[in-house]
Amino acid sequence: MRLLAAWLLLAAAPLWADWPYFLGNQSRNSISSTPLAPPLEVEWTYDAPDGVDSTAIIVDGTAYFGEMNGKFHAVDLATGKGKWVYQAGLGVPASGCVQDGVVFFGDEDGVFHAVDIATGKAKWTHPTGAEILSSPMCLPDAILFGSYDSNLYSLNPKTGEKNWSYQTADRVHCSPAVKEGKTFVTGCDGILRIIDVKSGVETSSIELSDYIASTPALVGDHIYIGTMGNEVLSVDWAQGKIDWRYHHPTTDFQYYSSPVVSQGKVIIGGRDKRVHAIDEKTGQLVWEFLTRSRVDSSPVLAGNVIWVGSNDGNLYALDVNTGKELWKFTLGGAVVAQAAISGDRLLIGSRDGVMYCLRKQ
């Protein structure tokens, strides 16, 4: 009986894992800690009528995400019931991050917010000079994020006071990646900058030629990044050189999506309506999958399945090795957000004004 009771408790317990950052982790390389294969079914939906461009983050069984009317939501992952709604300015197109009982995020008014996760009340706010489309990085002594005022900011998590800001030559759209005390930032000035997290001093930079909205995926001593100059790049940041430039053989379109790098492939969405899988070493096309509209959503790898949305209103599940479509789910509007995976659940928002929670059947 004790074994049966223990099994029943385990079966009833929620199965989840954290998805604490945009693109999943500090390296911004979107790999789920747990596998998730289709088919899935709708467990719950949550109304966000002005549309959801931001990717949900999931921490301790709560999902946090912004709406394009400036509302920021905290929702119970198990039930889909709202915990609180916080009103920021204009839209909240980027994700947040959670640390020490506080969720941090920016808005299109250019204000950065720290909100108590227990009460939904502001702890502090910090203004910047332009809209914030960059998702923050939470570190013990610093919250890092970019702004369209061309700065990368480091704020004190407790007070919101500025540790430092680094002025680039153009807007900073990407979300900073972090490794070994360094942060890696690309922006509309077309430069990869490596900046010391503690001091805010640039330690090195690499000219990439084209302006960039995509967030770099950091894998070892390389970053992988799509450009608005219609290329995907492999950059050896340790050696300060570009290893290869990928350009599709027949199309000539921009890359807004951020890549996932695993199993020898760099997988990224393109505005040519395709998902591209590129050989990590050679920069040659391995496979491609054609949707019916541009793919600004960033792919996620869970086991051997790539999950990626498209502006055609579908969420696709693709075989990571072949690009074969395994399954798709039709939402009511364009999908710009990335899927967030937590155990056997997948969360994704749409411009139809709904956050969907899908669960393994």
Give the pLDDT confidence score for residue 325 in this predicted structure.
Answer: 98
Is 12 inside a domain boundary? no
Give the model confidence (pLDDT) of 152-177 as tens digits: 999 999 999 999 999 999 999 999 99
Give the pLDDT confidence score for residue 13 in this predicted structure.
Answer: 38
Mean pLDDT of 259-268: 98
Is 124 inside a domain boundary? yes
Could you give the CA distance from residue 60 to residue 117 in angstroms, rounded to a whole number? 11
Position 309: which residue type?
A: G
Domain containing 22 — which CATH number? 2.130.10.10
Give the pLDDT confidence score for residue 15 in this predicted structure.
Answer: 55
Give the pLDDT confidence score for residue 209 in this predicted structure.
Answer: 84
| Concatenated DSSP letters of 2-25 | HHHHHHHHHHHS-----B-STTSS
Q: Which residues pair with 173 in a beta bridge?
A: none
Give the pLDDT confidence score for residue 10 in this predicted structure.
Answer: 34
Mean pLDDT of 254-258: 98
Is 50 inside a domain boundary? yes
How much of the chain exceeds pLDDT 70, in percent? 96
pLDDT at 2 over 60: no
Q: What is the pTM of this model?
A: 0.94
Is 73 inside a domain boundary? yes
Mean pLDDT of 264-272: 98
Could you give the CA distance from residue 210 to residue 252 in angstroms, rounded to a whole number? 14
Give the pLDDT confidence score for residue 9 in this predicted structure.
Answer: 35
**More reliable by pLDDT, 188 or 361:** 188
pLDDT at 60 over 70: yes
Rounded to 5 degrees, φ, ψ at 77 are -65, -35
How much of the chain exceeds pLDDT 90, in percent? 94
Could you give the CA distance from residue 265 to residue 242 in angstroms, rounded to a whole number? 17
If you count them, how many residues does the chain have? 361
Is 191 inside a domain boundary? yes
pLDDT at 338 over 80: yes
Position 348: which residue type?
A: I
Contact 146, 153 (CB under 8 A): yes
Q: What domain range includes position 250?
A: 17-360
Mean pLDDT of 46-58: 96
Is 1 inside a domain boundary? no
The pairing of beta strand 111-116 with beta strand 202-207: unpaired
Domain count for the chain: 1
Helices first, then strands: H and E counts in the chain: 1, 32
Tokens of 201: 């001093």
Contact 338, 309 (CB under 8 A): yes
Is 2 inside a domain boundary? no
Give the pLDDT confidence score for residue 55 in this predicted structure.
Answer: 97
Query: Which has the closest alpha carbon to 212: 224, 229, 195?
Result: 229
Contact 329, 36 (CB under 8 A): no
Give the pLDDT confidence score for residue 361 in this predicted structure.
Answer: 83
Mean pLDDT of 62-78: 98
Give the model confidence (pLDDT) of 349-360 as tens digits: 999 999 999 999
**More reliable by pLDDT, 211 or 67:** 67
Give the pLDDT confidence score for residue 21 in this predicted structure.
Answer: 97
Give the pLDDT confidence score for residue 16 in this predicted structure.
Answer: 60
pLDDT at 195 over 80: yes
Tokens of 198: 């503690």
Tokens 């760099």 belong to: 266
Is 227 inside a domain boundary? yes
